[in-house]
């Protein structure tokens, strides 16, 4: 049996945790955040929205059902690092092809286990998400602090360009679907594309820096703005493109796409203290009064007080009353902060895809 190396996690404010190596040997730096989901770790690992983040899982046992070829949201692991309480070395599931530790090692992702993830989560909740470093190579705190000091915070960082596709590509396998979609890839999850296709959408995916002229020349029935990582206010090219598309095509945004749409409409965004990451966040639909249980992953939010008069809030997060959805009827645009496509998570909000189809049908 392989003996785990000692590993250390140091946070920017000086708090540190000793544990055991999990995944690959090495060193990694990122913003340390936490996800409260009890399942879905493979989708979390491969979600581009987690670019440059070290994700802490609050559920104590991770890896129970292993890793398979189906539950991936992109072509590789996207997190900068992974923090857990305890790895399941021998997974049990008929789909499993390998353990989570081997999966991380195969893709050279550094993680740490056998630390008090409850204490770490409480620290982040109290003091906010912050940069951290995981190392199996260096245990000198002063040396690690120096390395951390060289890294910028998440605010002001445009990470969409790091995870977006380089060139446009046609996604849909079948022919003769009635709804022609231009999906702008700010870090798109695979399940979004799968769901759009299930609603008879013929999807072409464009890189984050696509221009409005290229989109209009393509002449889609609707424009989809995807999820993604980083500070929305830094994605100036995306905001400008959406501004120039408003009123010309129906627009539907999710997560970072929601924030970019809001900025294009004239609203403002801000960084949350520790973000919303999990698969059981309650959201109130202000139009129906119903409560939806949602999957969420974001560190920034739209400032509700900054919404222009022609933009209405449609959903609010009941944990902290932040924006969870907006719409602008006159410009045929709407968006939500959470992930209605889930994966992982509940399916309460998939009606939003039907709303998008209805806008294009009209």
Q: How many whole angstroms separate alpha carbon 255 and alpha carbon 338?
A: 6
Full DSSP string of 86-154: EE-SS---TT--B-HHHHHHHTT-EEEESS-HHHHHHHHHHH--EEEEEESS---HHHHHHHHHTS--S
How far is it, in rounded angstroms, from Cα 81 to Cα 83? 7
Q: Are 186 and 225 in contact (CB under 8 A)?
A: yes
Active site residue 127: no
Helix, coil or strand: residue 239 = helix
306: exposed, middle or buried (Cβ count in 10 Å: 0-12, 13-18, 19+) = middle
Q: Judge whether 341 counts as a catalytic residue.
A: yes
Is-contact 35 57, C-beta < 8 A?
yes
Tell me whether strands 53-57 and 81-83 are parallel, antiparallel or unpaired. parallel
- What is the three-class DSSP state of 251? strand
Give bridge partners of residue 309 from the DSSP assignment.
none
Q: Which of 33, 201, 255, 328 is catalytic?
A: 255
* 201 catalytically annotated: no
Instruction: Label residue 217 exposed, middle or buried (CB < 10 Å: 0-12, 13-18, 19+).
Output: exposed
Q: Is-contact 4 115, C-beta < 8 A? A: no
Would you name the residues annotated as active-site residues? 255, 339, 341
């Amino acid at each position: 049996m392989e003996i785990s190396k000692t590993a250390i996690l140091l946070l920017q404010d000086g708090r540190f945790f000793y544990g055991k190596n999990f995944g690959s040997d090495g060193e990694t730096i990122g913003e340390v955040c936490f996800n409260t989901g009890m399942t879905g770790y493979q989708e979390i690992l491969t979600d581009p929205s987690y670019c440059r983040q070290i994700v802490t899982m609050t559920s104590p046992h991770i890896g129970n059902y292993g890793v398979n070829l189906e539950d991936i949201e992109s072509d590789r692991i996207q997190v900068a690092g992974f923090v857990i309480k305890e790895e399941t070395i021998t997974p049990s599931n008929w789909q499993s092809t390998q353990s989570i530790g081997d999966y991380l090692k195969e893709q050279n992702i550094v993680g740490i286990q056998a630390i008090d993830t409850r204490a770490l989560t409480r620290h982040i909740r109290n003091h906010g998400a912050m940069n951290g470093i995981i190392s199996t190579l260096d245990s000198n705190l002063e040396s690690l602090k120096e390395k951390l000091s060289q890294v910028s915070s998440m605010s002001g960082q445009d990470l969409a360009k790091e995870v977006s596709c380089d060139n446009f590509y046609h996604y849909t396998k079948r022919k003769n679907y009635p709804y022609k979609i231009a999906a702008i890839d700010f870090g798109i999850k695979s399940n979004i594309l799968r769901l759009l296709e299930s609603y008879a959408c013929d999807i072409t995916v464009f890189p984050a820096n696509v221009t409005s002229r290229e989109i209009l020349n393509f002449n889609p029935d609707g424009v989809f703005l995807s999820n993604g990582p980083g500070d929305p206010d830094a994605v100036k090219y995306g905001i400008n493109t959406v501004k120039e598309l408003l009123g010309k095509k129906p627009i539907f945004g999710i997560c970072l796409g929601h924030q970019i749409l809001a900025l294009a409409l004239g609203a403002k965004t801000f960084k949350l203290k520790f973000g919303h990451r999990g698969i059981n966040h309650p959201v109130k639909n202000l139009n129906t009064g119903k409560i939806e249980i949602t999957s969420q992953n974001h560190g920034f939010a739209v400032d509700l007080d900054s919404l222009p008069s022609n933009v209405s809030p449609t959903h609010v997060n009941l944990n902290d009353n932040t924006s969870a959805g907006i719409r602008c009827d006159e410009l045929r645009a709407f968006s939500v902060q959470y992930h209605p496509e889930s994966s992982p998570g509940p399916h309460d909000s998939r009606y939003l895809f039907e709303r998008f189809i209805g806008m294009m049908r009209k």
